[in-house]
Chains A and B, each alone.
Chain A
Amino acid sequence: MTDDNDPALVCPAPINQHAQILLAHGGGGKLMQQLLDSVFLPAFANPLLNARHDGAVIELGTTRLAFTTDSYVVQPLFFPGGDIGSLAVNGTVNDLAMCGARPLFLSAGFIIEEGLPMETLQRVVTSMRHAAHAAGVTIVTGDTKVVDKGKGDGLFINTAGIGIIEHSLRIAPDAIQPGDAILLSGDIGRHGIAIMAMREGLDFESTIESDCAALAAPVLELIHAGIDIHCLRDLTRGGLAAALIEIAEAAHLQIDIEESLIPVVQEVQGACELLGLDPLHVANEGRFVAFIPAAQVNQALNILHRHPLGQEACLIGHVQHGIAGRVTLQSRIGVQRIVDRLSGEQLPRIC
Protein backbone atom coordinates (compact mmCIF):
# COMPACT_ATOMS: atom_id res chain seq x y z
CA MET A 1 0.00 0.00 0.00
CA THR A 2 1.11 3.59 -0.30
CA ASP A 3 3.59 5.02 2.13
CA ASP A 4 1.53 8.13 2.47
CA ASN A 5 -1.85 7.78 4.17
CA ASP A 6 -2.45 11.51 4.48
CA PRO A 7 -5.34 12.24 2.10
CA ALA A 8 -4.33 15.90 1.82
CA LEU A 9 -1.16 14.89 0.00
CA VAL A 10 -2.79 12.30 -2.22
CA CYS A 11 -3.71 13.18 -5.77
CA PRO A 12 -7.47 12.78 -6.08
CA ALA A 13 -7.14 10.57 -9.14
CA PRO A 14 -4.10 8.40 -8.61
CA ILE A 15 -3.52 5.88 -11.37
CA ASN A 16 -0.47 4.11 -10.09
CA GLN A 17 0.85 4.96 -6.66
CA HIS A 18 3.15 1.98 -6.28
CA ALA A 19 6.84 2.74 -6.23
CA GLN A 20 7.68 -0.84 -7.02
CA ILE A 21 6.18 -3.81 -8.78
CA LEU A 22 4.10 -6.12 -6.62
CA LEU A 23 3.29 -9.74 -7.31
CA ALA A 24 -0.30 -8.64 -7.90
CA HIS A 25 0.80 -6.63 -10.95
CA GLY A 26 1.14 -9.97 -12.73
CA GLY A 27 -2.08 -11.42 -11.37
CA GLY A 28 -4.41 -10.62 -14.25
CA GLY A 29 -6.53 -8.39 -12.01
CA LYS A 30 -6.95 -4.67 -11.48
CA LEU A 31 -3.33 -3.90 -10.71
CA MET A 32 -2.15 -5.58 -13.88
CA GLN A 33 -4.66 -3.57 -15.86
CA GLN A 34 -3.35 -0.40 -14.20
CA LEU A 35 0.18 -1.37 -15.17
CA LEU A 36 -0.81 -1.90 -18.79
CA ASP A 37 -2.78 1.35 -18.88
CA SER A 38 -0.17 3.50 -17.19
CA VAL A 39 3.14 2.07 -18.41
CA PHE A 40 3.00 -0.17 -21.45
CA LEU A 41 0.13 1.02 -23.61
CA PRO A 42 1.08 4.72 -23.52
CA ALA A 43 4.70 3.88 -24.33
CA PHE A 44 4.03 1.64 -27.31
CA ALA A 45 0.76 3.23 -28.46
CA ASN A 46 -0.44 2.15 -31.90
CA PRO A 47 -3.78 1.03 -33.35
CA LEU A 48 -2.88 -2.66 -33.41
CA LEU A 49 -1.88 -2.67 -29.74
CA ASN A 50 -4.75 -0.47 -28.68
CA ALA A 51 -7.23 -3.02 -30.01
CA ARG A 52 -6.40 -4.74 -26.72
CA HIS A 53 -7.07 -8.22 -27.96
CA ASP A 54 -5.18 -11.40 -27.15
CA GLY A 55 -3.18 -11.20 -30.36
CA ALA A 56 -2.50 -8.65 -33.07
CA VAL A 57 -4.10 -9.14 -36.48
CA ILE A 58 -1.76 -7.98 -39.21
CA GLU A 59 -2.66 -7.41 -42.83
CA LEU A 60 0.04 -8.14 -45.41
CA GLY A 61 -1.46 -7.63 -48.83
CA THR A 62 -4.43 -9.98 -49.02
CA THR A 63 -3.14 -12.22 -46.25
CA ARG A 64 -4.20 -11.79 -42.67
CA LEU A 65 -1.88 -13.06 -39.97
CA ALA A 66 -2.29 -13.25 -36.23
CA PHE A 67 0.73 -12.63 -34.02
CA THR A 68 0.97 -13.05 -30.26
CA THR A 69 3.34 -13.69 -27.36
CA ASP A 70 3.13 -14.96 -23.81
CA SER A 71 5.51 -15.80 -21.00
CA TYR A 72 5.22 -18.63 -18.54
CA VAL A 73 6.50 -18.31 -15.01
CA VAL A 74 4.38 -20.91 -13.25
CA GLN A 75 5.44 -22.68 -10.10
CA PRO A 76 5.39 -25.63 -9.67
CA LEU A 77 6.88 -26.51 -13.07
CA PHE A 78 4.95 -29.78 -13.15
CA PHE A 79 1.34 -30.16 -12.04
CA PRO A 80 -1.50 -32.61 -12.58
CA GLY A 81 -2.55 -32.37 -16.23
CA GLY A 82 0.44 -30.41 -17.52
CA ASP A 83 3.63 -28.51 -17.01
CA ILE A 84 5.21 -25.21 -17.91
CA GLY A 85 6.05 -26.59 -21.35
CA SER A 86 2.54 -27.64 -22.40
CA LEU A 87 1.23 -24.37 -20.94
CA ALA A 88 3.72 -22.40 -23.00
CA VAL A 89 2.65 -24.09 -26.22
CA ASN A 90 -1.10 -24.20 -25.60
CA GLY A 91 -1.29 -20.70 -24.18
CA THR A 92 0.12 -19.10 -27.30
CA VAL A 93 -1.77 -21.46 -29.61
CA ASN A 94 -4.94 -20.37 -27.81
CA ASP A 95 -4.21 -16.67 -28.14
CA LEU A 96 -3.91 -17.23 -31.91
CA ALA A 97 -7.08 -19.29 -31.94
CA MET A 98 -8.91 -16.47 -30.19
CA CYS A 99 -8.16 -14.28 -33.20
CA GLY A 100 -9.81 -16.96 -35.36
CA ALA A 101 -6.42 -17.94 -36.76
CA ARG A 102 -5.06 -21.35 -37.63
CA PRO A 103 -1.89 -21.54 -35.51
CA LEU A 104 1.21 -22.38 -37.57
CA PHE A 105 4.57 -21.51 -36.03
CA LEU A 106 5.93 -20.84 -32.56
CA SER A 107 9.17 -19.47 -31.20
CA ALA A 108 10.38 -20.61 -27.78
CA GLY A 109 12.71 -18.60 -25.57
CA PHE A 110 14.09 -20.17 -22.40
CA ILE A 111 15.50 -18.41 -19.36
CA ILE A 112 17.00 -21.15 -17.24
CA GLU A 113 18.30 -20.84 -13.73
CA GLU A 114 21.79 -22.23 -13.18
CA GLY A 115 21.49 -25.57 -11.40
CA LEU A 116 18.22 -26.70 -12.98
CA PRO A 117 18.50 -30.48 -13.45
CA MET A 118 19.01 -31.44 -17.08
CA GLU A 119 16.34 -34.09 -16.66
CA THR A 120 13.79 -31.39 -15.74
CA LEU A 121 14.57 -29.44 -18.89
CA GLN A 122 14.31 -32.63 -20.93
CA ARG A 123 10.86 -33.40 -19.51
CA VAL A 124 9.62 -29.90 -20.28
CA VAL A 125 10.94 -29.93 -23.82
CA THR A 126 9.42 -33.36 -24.50
CA SER A 127 6.11 -32.08 -23.23
CA MET A 128 6.35 -29.12 -25.57
CA ARG A 129 6.98 -31.42 -28.49
CA HIS A 130 3.86 -33.43 -27.69
CA ALA A 131 1.75 -30.32 -27.18
CA ALA A 132 2.97 -28.75 -30.40
CA HIS A 133 2.21 -31.91 -32.32
CA ALA A 134 -1.28 -32.13 -30.81
CA ALA A 135 -1.93 -28.50 -31.67
CA GLY A 136 -0.60 -28.80 -35.22
CA VAL A 137 2.15 -26.20 -34.79
CA THR A 138 5.89 -26.27 -35.40
CA ILE A 139 8.46 -24.64 -33.12
CA VAL A 140 10.75 -23.00 -35.65
CA THR A 141 13.03 -20.72 -33.70
CA GLY A 142 14.12 -20.09 -30.18
CA ASP A 143 16.62 -18.74 -27.71
CA THR A 144 18.32 -19.91 -24.53
CA LYS A 145 19.75 -17.90 -21.65
CA VAL A 146 21.07 -19.09 -18.32
CA VAL A 147 20.93 -16.84 -15.26
CA ASP A 148 22.79 -17.07 -11.98
CA LYS A 149 21.43 -19.39 -9.36
CA GLY A 150 18.87 -17.53 -7.31
CA LYS A 151 17.92 -15.14 -10.09
CA GLY A 152 15.17 -17.17 -11.74
CA ASP A 153 12.45 -19.50 -10.54
CA GLY A 154 14.03 -22.59 -12.11
CA LEU A 155 12.70 -21.96 -15.59
CA PHE A 156 10.87 -19.20 -17.49
CA ILE A 157 9.58 -19.75 -21.02
CA ASN A 158 8.39 -17.21 -23.56
CA THR A 159 6.57 -18.32 -26.70
CA ALA A 160 5.51 -16.16 -29.61
CA GLY A 161 3.23 -17.46 -32.32
CA ILE A 162 2.06 -16.79 -35.87
CA GLY A 163 -1.19 -18.03 -37.33
CA ILE A 164 -3.06 -17.49 -40.56
CA ILE A 165 -6.61 -16.20 -40.76
CA GLU A 166 -8.43 -18.07 -43.50
CA HIS A 167 -11.86 -16.47 -43.31
CA SER A 168 -13.27 -13.01 -43.57
CA LEU A 169 -14.76 -12.71 -40.10
CA ARG A 170 -13.62 -9.81 -37.99
CA ILE A 171 -13.20 -11.34 -34.53
CA ALA A 172 -12.61 -8.62 -31.96
CA PRO A 173 -14.39 -6.95 -29.03
CA ASP A 174 -15.68 -4.12 -31.21
CA ALA A 175 -17.53 -6.65 -33.41
CA ILE A 176 -19.77 -7.61 -30.50
CA GLN A 177 -23.43 -6.56 -30.81
CA PRO A 178 -26.05 -5.98 -28.12
CA GLY A 179 -28.15 -9.12 -28.01
CA ASP A 180 -25.19 -11.42 -28.67
CA ALA A 181 -25.14 -14.69 -26.76
CA ILE A 182 -22.16 -15.75 -24.68
CA LEU A 183 -21.07 -19.38 -24.83
CA LEU A 184 -18.63 -20.95 -22.38
CA SER A 185 -16.76 -24.02 -23.67
CA GLY A 186 -16.73 -26.02 -20.41
CA ASP A 187 -16.51 -26.08 -16.64
CA ILE A 188 -14.28 -23.57 -14.88
CA GLY A 189 -11.58 -23.48 -12.24
CA ARG A 190 -9.66 -26.70 -12.90
CA HIS A 191 -6.25 -25.22 -13.58
CA GLY A 192 -6.17 -22.92 -10.57
CA ILE A 193 -7.32 -25.68 -8.23
CA ALA A 194 -4.86 -28.23 -9.67
CA ILE A 195 -2.05 -25.79 -8.90
CA MET A 196 -3.45 -24.87 -5.48
CA ALA A 197 -3.60 -28.56 -4.52
CA MET A 198 0.19 -28.67 -4.59
CA ARG A 199 0.84 -25.41 -2.80
CA GLU A 200 2.64 -25.74 0.54
CA GLY A 201 0.43 -24.77 3.44
CA LEU A 202 -2.73 -25.17 1.39
CA ASP A 203 -2.26 -28.55 -0.26
CA PHE A 204 -4.96 -31.21 -0.40
CA GLU A 205 -5.60 -34.56 -2.09
CA SER A 206 -7.35 -34.14 -5.38
CA THR A 207 -7.89 -35.85 -8.72
CA ILE A 208 -8.40 -32.53 -10.44
CA GLU A 209 -6.12 -32.00 -13.42
CA SER A 210 -5.42 -28.77 -15.18
CA ASP A 211 -7.66 -28.19 -18.18
CA CYS A 212 -4.58 -27.07 -20.17
CA ALA A 213 -5.38 -27.75 -23.84
CA ALA A 214 -5.12 -26.31 -27.35
CA LEU A 215 -8.42 -24.72 -28.39
CA ALA A 216 -7.81 -24.04 -32.08
CA ALA A 217 -9.67 -27.12 -33.31
CA PRO A 218 -13.12 -26.45 -31.78
CA VAL A 219 -12.86 -22.78 -32.73
CA LEU A 220 -12.01 -23.52 -36.35
CA GLU A 221 -14.90 -26.00 -36.51
CA LEU A 222 -17.28 -23.25 -35.46
CA ILE A 223 -15.86 -20.92 -38.11
CA HIS A 224 -16.01 -23.55 -40.86
CA ALA A 225 -19.63 -24.31 -39.98
CA GLY A 226 -20.52 -20.69 -40.66
CA ILE A 227 -21.00 -19.51 -37.08
CA ASP A 228 -20.71 -15.73 -37.21
CA ILE A 229 -18.30 -15.40 -34.32
CA HIS A 230 -18.00 -11.81 -33.12
CA CYS A 231 -15.44 -12.32 -30.40
CA LEU A 232 -13.46 -15.02 -28.62
CA ARG A 233 -11.43 -15.01 -25.43
CA ASP A 234 -9.62 -17.87 -23.70
CA LEU A 235 -9.80 -17.87 -19.93
CA THR A 236 -6.48 -17.71 -18.11
CA ARG A 237 -5.29 -16.05 -14.91
CA GLY A 238 -8.11 -14.01 -13.45
CA GLY A 239 -10.63 -16.59 -14.59
CA LEU A 240 -13.99 -16.12 -16.29
CA ALA A 241 -14.55 -12.83 -14.47
CA ALA A 242 -11.42 -11.13 -15.81
CA ALA A 243 -12.07 -12.32 -19.37
CA LEU A 244 -15.63 -10.98 -19.41
CA ILE A 245 -14.71 -7.67 -17.77
CA GLU A 246 -11.90 -7.06 -20.27
CA ILE A 247 -14.24 -7.73 -23.15
CA ALA A 248 -17.09 -5.61 -21.73
CA GLU A 249 -14.64 -2.73 -21.37
CA ALA A 250 -13.09 -3.16 -24.81
CA ALA A 251 -16.51 -3.45 -26.45
CA HIS A 252 -18.09 -0.63 -24.40
CA LEU A 253 -21.10 -2.83 -23.71
CA GLN A 254 -22.66 -4.58 -20.72
CA ILE A 255 -22.48 -8.33 -20.15
CA ASP A 256 -25.08 -10.16 -18.05
CA ILE A 257 -24.50 -13.75 -16.96
CA GLU A 258 -26.31 -16.23 -14.71
CA GLU A 259 -24.54 -18.04 -11.91
CA SER A 260 -26.71 -21.16 -12.18
CA LEU A 261 -25.65 -21.65 -15.82
CA ILE A 262 -21.90 -21.68 -15.13
CA PRO A 263 -20.61 -25.27 -14.81
CA VAL A 264 -18.26 -26.05 -11.93
CA VAL A 265 -17.36 -29.67 -11.17
CA GLN A 266 -17.80 -30.91 -7.61
CA GLU A 267 -14.12 -31.13 -6.69
CA VAL A 268 -13.45 -27.62 -7.88
CA GLN A 269 -16.47 -26.42 -5.90
CA GLY A 270 -15.24 -28.33 -2.84
CA ALA A 271 -11.78 -26.77 -3.02
CA CYS A 272 -13.24 -23.30 -3.57
CA GLU A 273 -15.61 -23.68 -0.60
CA LEU A 274 -12.77 -24.91 1.61
CA LEU A 275 -10.38 -22.09 0.74
CA GLY A 276 -13.01 -19.38 0.37
CA LEU A 277 -12.33 -18.85 -3.33
CA ASP A 278 -14.81 -17.69 -5.94
CA PRO A 279 -14.62 -20.01 -9.00
CA LEU A 280 -15.33 -17.02 -11.22
CA HIS A 281 -11.84 -15.72 -10.45
CA VAL A 282 -9.93 -19.04 -10.53
CA ALA A 283 -7.45 -19.66 -13.36
CA ASN A 284 -8.21 -21.81 -16.40
CA GLU A 285 -5.99 -22.90 -19.29
CA GLY A 286 -8.27 -24.77 -21.66
CA ARG A 287 -11.58 -22.90 -21.80
CA PHE A 288 -12.91 -20.07 -23.92
CA VAL A 289 -15.93 -17.80 -24.26
CA ALA A 290 -17.49 -17.03 -27.63
CA PHE A 291 -19.75 -14.10 -28.48
CA ILE A 292 -22.13 -15.07 -31.28
CA PRO A 293 -25.54 -14.00 -32.62
CA ALA A 294 -28.28 -15.39 -30.38
CA ALA A 295 -29.91 -17.10 -33.37
CA GLN A 296 -26.91 -19.41 -33.81
CA VAL A 297 -26.65 -20.66 -30.22
CA ASN A 298 -28.16 -24.11 -30.76
CA GLN A 299 -26.12 -24.75 -33.87
CA ALA A 300 -22.90 -23.65 -32.17
CA LEU A 301 -23.55 -25.74 -29.06
CA ASN A 302 -24.24 -28.81 -31.20
CA ILE A 303 -20.88 -28.37 -32.90
CA LEU A 304 -19.03 -27.87 -29.64
CA HIS A 305 -20.72 -30.80 -27.92
CA ARG A 306 -19.34 -33.11 -30.59
CA HIS A 307 -15.78 -32.02 -29.79
CA PRO A 308 -13.88 -33.55 -26.83
CA LEU A 309 -13.00 -30.06 -25.56
CA GLY A 310 -16.51 -28.69 -25.84
CA GLN A 311 -18.71 -31.40 -24.38
CA GLU A 312 -19.86 -29.24 -21.47
CA ALA A 313 -20.25 -26.10 -23.57
CA CYS A 314 -23.21 -23.96 -22.53
CA LEU A 315 -24.92 -20.60 -22.83
CA ILE A 316 -24.11 -18.40 -19.84
CA GLY A 317 -25.49 -14.98 -20.70
CA HIS A 318 -26.05 -12.12 -23.12
CA VAL A 319 -24.72 -8.74 -24.14
CA GLN A 320 -26.75 -5.54 -23.87
CA HIS A 321 -26.15 -1.81 -24.23
CA GLY A 322 -26.49 -1.14 -20.50
CA ILE A 323 -23.53 0.48 -18.82
CA ALA A 324 -20.30 0.20 -20.80
CA GLY A 325 -17.77 -2.11 -19.24
CA ARG A 326 -20.13 -3.53 -16.64
CA VAL A 327 -20.51 -7.26 -16.01
CA THR A 328 -23.44 -8.42 -13.92
CA LEU A 329 -24.22 -11.82 -12.48
CA GLN A 330 -27.63 -13.05 -11.52
CA SER A 331 -26.93 -14.92 -8.29
CA ARG A 332 -28.18 -18.39 -7.59
CA ILE A 333 -31.11 -16.94 -5.63
CA GLY A 334 -32.10 -14.64 -8.48
CA VAL A 335 -30.65 -11.27 -7.47
CA GLN A 336 -28.33 -9.32 -9.75
CA ARG A 337 -24.93 -8.08 -8.63
CA ILE A 338 -21.80 -6.64 -10.19
CA VAL A 339 -18.80 -8.79 -11.12
CA ASP A 340 -15.66 -6.81 -10.39
CA ARG A 341 -11.98 -7.51 -11.01
CA LEU A 342 -10.10 -8.45 -7.87
CA SER A 343 -7.36 -6.03 -6.86
CA GLY A 344 -4.74 -8.75 -7.14
CA GLU A 345 -4.34 -12.48 -6.77
CA GLN A 346 -7.32 -14.13 -5.07
CA LEU A 347 -6.10 -15.28 -1.66
CA PRO A 348 -7.51 -18.15 0.42
CA ARG A 349 -9.39 -16.97 3.49
CA ILE A 350 -10.85 -18.32 6.73
CA CYS A 351 -13.17 -15.42 7.47
Chain B
Amino acid sequence: MCLAVPGKILSITDEDDALLCAARVSFGGIVKEISLAGVPEAKLGDYVIVHAGFALARLDEQEAQRVFTTLRQMDETSR
Protein backbone atom coordinates (compact mmCIF):
# COMPACT_ATOMS: atom_id res chain seq x y z
CA MET B 1 0.00 0.00 0.00
CA CYS B 2 0.93 3.57 -0.27
CA LEU B 3 3.15 3.99 -3.21
CA ALA B 4 4.95 7.20 -2.37
CA VAL B 5 7.86 8.54 -4.39
CA PRO B 6 10.67 11.00 -3.58
CA GLY B 7 10.78 14.17 -5.67
CA LYS B 8 12.68 17.44 -5.66
CA ILE B 9 10.89 20.78 -5.29
CA LEU B 10 11.60 23.00 -8.31
CA SER B 11 9.27 25.90 -7.56
CA ILE B 12 6.62 26.79 -5.00
CA THR B 13 3.37 28.65 -5.59
CA ASP B 14 2.83 30.48 -2.35
CA GLU B 15 -0.71 31.07 -1.32
CA ASP B 16 -2.20 32.89 1.67
CA ASP B 17 -4.25 29.82 2.31
CA ALA B 18 -1.84 27.05 3.38
CA LEU B 19 -4.26 24.47 2.04
CA LEU B 20 -3.70 25.77 -1.49
CA CYS B 21 0.08 25.72 -1.25
CA ALA B 22 1.53 23.71 -4.13
CA ALA B 23 4.85 23.02 -5.81
CA ARG B 24 6.25 21.80 -9.09
CA VAL B 25 8.11 18.64 -8.09
CA SER B 26 10.59 16.74 -10.24
CA PHE B 27 10.66 12.93 -10.20
CA GLY B 28 13.80 11.98 -12.05
CA GLY B 29 13.10 14.81 -14.51
CA ILE B 30 9.37 14.55 -15.04
CA VAL B 31 7.49 17.31 -13.28
CA LYS B 32 4.11 17.33 -11.62
CA GLU B 33 2.17 19.86 -9.57
CA ILE B 34 1.91 18.53 -6.01
CA SER B 35 0.07 19.80 -2.94
CA LEU B 36 2.34 21.07 -0.14
CA ALA B 37 -0.51 21.48 2.34
CA GLY B 38 1.06 18.75 4.50
CA VAL B 39 4.58 20.23 4.49
CA PRO B 40 4.25 24.01 4.76
CA GLU B 41 7.89 24.29 5.90
CA ALA B 42 9.22 22.77 2.65
CA LYS B 43 11.65 24.93 0.68
CA LEU B 44 13.04 25.10 -2.83
CA GLY B 45 15.43 22.24 -3.45
CA ASP B 46 13.99 20.06 -0.66
CA TYR B 47 13.08 16.46 -1.39
CA VAL B 48 9.58 15.38 -0.41
CA ILE B 49 7.89 11.99 -0.41
CA VAL B 50 4.72 12.19 -2.52
CA HIS B 51 1.58 10.04 -2.59
CA ALA B 52 -1.51 10.63 -4.77
CA GLY B 53 -0.48 14.21 -5.52
CA PHE B 54 0.13 15.07 -1.85
CA ALA B 55 3.54 15.63 -0.25
CA LEU B 56 3.55 13.60 2.97
CA ALA B 57 6.87 14.72 4.47
CA ARG B 58 10.26 16.24 3.78
CA LEU B 59 13.05 13.70 3.34
CA ASP B 60 15.86 14.05 5.82
CA GLU B 61 19.20 13.58 4.05
CA GLN B 62 21.06 12.79 7.25
CA GLU B 63 18.61 10.13 8.33
CA ALA B 64 18.69 8.72 4.82
CA GLN B 65 22.31 7.83 5.39
CA ARG B 66 21.60 5.92 8.59
CA VAL B 67 21.25 2.47 7.03
CA PHE B 68 24.55 2.96 5.15
CA THR B 69 26.29 4.04 8.36
CA THR B 70 24.93 0.91 10.02
CA LEU B 71 26.32 -1.20 7.20
CA ARG B 72 29.73 0.44 7.46
CA GLN B 73 29.76 -0.17 11.21
CA MET B 74 28.87 -3.80 10.65
CA ASP B 75 31.74 -4.13 8.20
CA GLU B 76 34.14 -2.61 10.69
CA THR B 77 33.10 -4.83 13.60
CA SER B 78 33.30 -7.95 11.49
CA ARG B 79 36.94 -7.35 10.61
Contacts and interface: CB of A to CB of B under 8 A. Distances in A.
A296 to B, nearest CB: 35
Interface stretch (B15-23, B27-35, B36-44, B63-71): B27-35
Contacts, number: 46
Contact of A206 (B24, B29, B50, B52): B29
Nearest to B28: A270
A273 B31 contact: no
Contacts of A274: 5, 7, 27, 30, 32, 50
A118 interface: no
Contacts of B74: none
B28 A207 contact: no
A273 B29 contact: no
B1 A351 contact: yes
Contact of A208 (B1, B27, B30, B32): B30
The size bracket of the interface on A is 10 to 19
Contact of A204 (B3, B30, B51): B30
A273 B28 contact: yes
Interface string A201-214: 00011111000000
For the complex of A and B, list the 7 residue pairs with the smallest distance between their C-beta atoms, beginning with the closest. A270-B28, A270-B27, A267-B29, A205-B31, A266-B28, A204-B32, A206-B30
Given A205-B24, A206-B31, A274-B7, 12 more contacts: A204-B30, A204-B31, A205-B30, A206-B29, A267-B28, A267-B29, A267-B30, A271-B28, A273-B27, A274-B50, A351-B2, A351-B3
Interface of B: 1-3, 5, 7, 24, 26-32, 50-52
